[in-house]
Structure 1
Amino acid sequence: MSSKPQPPSSSPPPNNNFAVAFCALAAARTWLSLTGFSSLLDHNQLVSSPLTAFSNLKEGIFLFNHDIDPYSGGSFRQSPLLLSLFTTILPSSSKPLASLLWTLNDVVGAYTLVQIWRSRQNVTSSRRDTLVAAAYLLNPYLFLPSLALSTSSFENTLMLSAILFACKRKPSQTVFTLSVLVQLSLTSIIMVLPAMLLLITDPHSHLASPQPIQTSLRKLWPLFGEFSLYTIVLILISTVIAGSWTWIPQTWGATLMLPDLTPNTGMWWYFFTEMFDHFRPFFLMVFSVHLLIYVAPVCLKFQYDPLYAAYILLGILGIFKPYPTLSDPGLFVSMIALFPETYQYMRHPIVTLLLHLHAALLMPLFYDLWVVQGAGNANFFYASTLVFACANGAAIVDALWSGLRVAIGETPEGYVVVQE
């Protein structure tokens, strides 16, 4: 039976169960954010990086409030947009208020993910809504960075918002959100093409019936032009906020040049710790270009389902990002809830799950042994991050295989797209 989406019912029944469950999930996350558990994660490099740490943000706010260039010290590497937001809305000393703000951000992200699911299924509500929301709010890869007040949580919400705007065919909102996202994280630029392809096609599932894109790609040029305009305007605004152009080498430049080799969950830091300075520029170029080479092949292969292309690219970004945290692959893991039609075609989901469990146990253990106890060395922790990268890589390979297999495999009798 085909999984082609059907038009929504004209008067769907209200989903009261989802409202109750969603409020319960939000209340549980709020309670967790106000406990003392978050203080244990303040300086944990698994959940925050030099580009997303709340401690660095507070330092930048302090310098900015005392008329000192926050980018002069080389420790503050976050966008001037965040600096402006948190100096006007959120006092740096109010951690309970910050915890509530981060929790609210996650609640918005979860509801946005539910809206993306509804847009993909072309329904106004479904029995799966609660599961989709729980996949975001209860994902430890996402709520642990949120408890640590990592600004990567805001990046995830902006990413989901851009995808939702694209699903709703709102071009200006989509490209503006993408522009803001690129201001916060330069590597998010690889998500611009799949989001724009989603704008000119539709978000519905076409994995079972792949067809070449039916619209002219010339429609992309005005979107790229509008994106460039918004980006230029935001650059100028950021320059006015920072008072100079020094924010560019300290934020975007840090993504490209990797000046801070603080250990994290990615694969760049250890490689460049051991790298001779003579070869460093060449390999920085290779690593940066390597992240870009996946965009065109993935978008071409899944041109009939740009939402799935965006999903795959988010997984790739979670592996090869220069300064990743747990929240980067966490978004990819949560978004798997949007594609139930692929579950039956996955080849090794148990192996992937066990690899993630193995890495989730090893990384905090080896990090504590090396950094806190001083009983290990960098090889201990890097070995665990390699296991984590293998787990994420296995998940992406499985997602690619199952996404392609849907088109040529037989759908089991009785399978239908979840709808109300």
Structure 2
Amino acid sequence: MASKSTRTTFSNFQASFLALTAVRLWISLTDLSITLKHDHQLSSPLTSFSQLQEGIYLFKHDIDPYSGGSFRHSPILLSFFATILPNSRKLASVLWTLIDAAGAWSLVQIWRSRQNVISSPWDILIASLYLLNPYIFLPSLALSTSSFENTLMLLSIMLASQGRASASLLALSLLLHLSLSSIVMLLPILLLLINDPHSHLASPKPMANSLRKMVPLFGEFTVYTGILTILSTIVAGSWAWIPQTWGATLTLPDLTPNTGLWWYFFTEMFDHFRPFFLMVFSVHLLIYVVPTCIKFQHDPLYATFIMLGILGTFKPYTTLSDPGLFLSMIAIFPETYPYLRHPIVTALLHLHSALLMPLFHHLWLTQGTGNANFFYATTLVFACSNGAALVDSIWAGLRIAIGPPVDNYTVVQE
């Protein structure tokens, strides 16, 4: 009887998942992608589909796309879109929908691994919170390649949760070639590979000999990264792609507005101080890795989740899809919900910034009645809302080990 119930739940999930994907596909085939493709909130110079098409055109006409200083996509994307994958708008919309569907499916598989079940009634809700998340949905409509990054990230986490080390490390290596900042995810995923994905937040225990187990996995990741680097160099014809792609993450040559914290700061920065603050901002993203992994070493999937939040907040070229992935993953940690301190405040901050960002962006760049301070002020509010969600999640992950939440009124009365 239980087996029949499981099959019914699974078939219902499949039908609902296909319906969600069909709705997404129908919306993506409208003219919205033309309207949204130049929106700075949805794509950055490193993820813009328009710049990808420009690089493909140059590549097909035997012109080095990396020689002009404006093309910053990985040679892996360049080679696939120039040979196999479609770059026309309609076909690309179909591809982006399928990529998001693969990401949603991976998130459901992570949930199942976390709960140690074959299927559950919550599967469709998990998928919906990814496919219908506006922070994920809108960049996909704009054909931002950040959708590929999110899906590769979820694939790597899913495969690590299932104990498939080689496939997980290969997916992470592919992701690294699309976005250098994703290197901060290496340590938590290595921890996840040597531990199970089940919830251990309520019973934290230190892991023994974890470093020794991670060394061969790190070596395998290095081999994959080296092979992909050589293949990328062969495709590009030289090493010029490295400073134009990976180097752009470290040197921030393009100060096009985005939802992140870097662009306006370095727009106002004197050139004399620029190298120092580039180093400070880059190191700031890295300093969270080891403390987070040590504190949540007993639950590496939760450590991975926390690092996604940090990456989505402090990444150099962020779009809405970066924090969107973190917010969608909150759904797979229901055990932390009773311990969240200010979820309503966090939700209102996100609503506030989500309404003001497009408004001030339009006033500044379309109407010309505002200035950069308008838009940057809203991105600061957006960063505060991401930070609030991140801090609340860290608090809940730590507080759950102490015991059930206590009502403050009861404490005062006692």
**Structure 2-normalised TM-score?**
0.96
Q: Find the counterpart in structure 2 of residue 13 from structure 1.
A: 6
- Give the deviation of 1:90 after TM superposition: 2.8
- Using the TM superposition, give the Cα deviation of residue 123 of structure 1 relative to its aligned residue in structure 2, in angstroms: 0.3
| Matched position secondary structure for 2:97 | helix
**CA offset digits 1:323-372 (Å, max 9, x no partner):** 00000000000000000000111111010000000000111111111111
Does structure 2 retain, via aligned residues, the 8 Å contact 1:12–1:125? no
Structure-2 residue corresponding to 1:373: 367
- Correspondence list, 1:269-418, <5 A: 269-410=263-404
> Within 2, Cα distance between the matches of 1:12 and 1:196?
36
Superposed displacement of residue 401, structure 1 = 0.6
Residue 117 of structure 1 contacts residue 338 of structure 1 at CA under 8 Å; is this kept in 2?
yes
- The CA deviation at 1:12 is 6.3
1:201–1:215 CA contact under 8 A, matched in 2? no
Aligned to 1:114: 108
Maintained 8 Å contact 1:200/1:215 = no
SS at match of 2:401: helix
Alignment of 1:185-224 (within 5 A): 185-224=179-218
C-alpha distance after superposition, 1:15-57 (max 9, x if no partner): 1221221111111101110111221101000000000000000
The runs of 5 or more residues in structure 2 that have no matched partner are 407-414
Is residue 101 from structure 1 mapped to residue 83 from structure 2 by the alignment?
Answer: no
Paired with 1:252 and 1:240, the residues of 2 have a C-alpha distance of: 16
Partner Cα distance (2:320, 2:301) in 1: 22
1:256 aligns with 2:250: yes
Q: Aligned to 1:229, which of 214, 217, 223?
A: 223
**AA matched with 1:77:** R
Amino acid at match of 1:45: H
Could you tell me how far 1:408 is from its partner in structure 2? 1.0
Among 143, 159, 179, the residue aligned to 1:149: 143
Task: Quote how far apart the aligned CAs of 1:217 are.
Answer: 2.2
Contact 2:339/2:405, CA 8 A, preserved across alignment: no
Q: Which amino acid aligns with 2:183?
A: I
Using structure 1 for the length normalisation, give the TM-score. 0.94
**Identity among equivalent pairs (%):** 70
Distance 2:83 2:309 in 1: 34
Q: Output the CA distance in 2 between the equivalents of 1:135 and 1:216.
A: 34
In the TM superposition, residue 179 of structure 1 has moved relative to its aligned partner by 0.7
User: Partners of 2:124 and 2:398 in 1: how far apart?
Assistant: 27
CA distance in 1: counterparts of 2:208 and 2:122, whole angstroms: 30
Q: Kindly provide the CA deviation profile for residues 139-163 of structure 1, in whole angstroms up to 9, marking residues without a partner as x.
A: 0000100000000000000000000
Shift of residue 214 of structure 1?
Answer: 4.3
Contact 2:252 2:316 survives alignment (8 Å): yes
The SS at the match of 1:240 is: helix
CA distance in 2, matches of 1:224, 1:214: 18
- CA deviations over 1:351-400 (Å, ceiling 9, x no partner): 00000000001111111111111111110000000000000000001000
Shift of 1:91: 4.0
What CA distance in whole angstroms lies between the structure 2 residues aligned with 1:10 and 1:198? 30
The code of the aligned residue for 1:13 comes to T
Where structure 1 has 5 or more consecutive residues not aligned to the other structure, the ranges are 1-8, 413-420
Secondary structure of 1:77's aligned partner: coil
- Conserved 8 A contact 1:49-1:324: yes
The answer for the alignment partner of 1:69 in structure 2 is 64
Matched, 1:238 2:232: yes
Cα 1:77–1:122 shift into 2, 3 Å? same
Tell which has more relative contact order, 1 or 2 (C-alpha 8 A, sep 6+): 1
Q: Please name the residue that 1:57 is paired with.
A: 52
Please point out which of 34, 39, 44 is paired with 1:39. Answer: 34
Q: Deviations over 1:73-101 (max 9, x none)?
A: 11110000000010011343x21100000
Query: What residue identity is the alignment partner of 1:255?
Result: T
The aligned amino acid for 1:120 is R
3-state SS in 1 of match to 2:197: coil
CA-CA distance at 1:212 after TM superposition:
1.1
Verify the 8 A CA contact 2:75 2:241 in the aligned structure 1: yes
Asked if the contact 1:211/1:304 (under 8 Å) is kept, the reply is yes
The count of corresponding residues between Structure 1 and Structure 2 is 403
The answer to whether residue 136 in structure 2 is matched with residue 136 in structure 1 is: no
**How far apart are 1:11 and its partner, in Å?**
7.7
CA contact (8 A) 1:265 1:325 kept: yes
Deviation at 1:10, TM superposition (A): 7.6
Partner of 2:400, secondary structure, is: helix
CA distance in 2, matches of 1:406, 1:182: 33
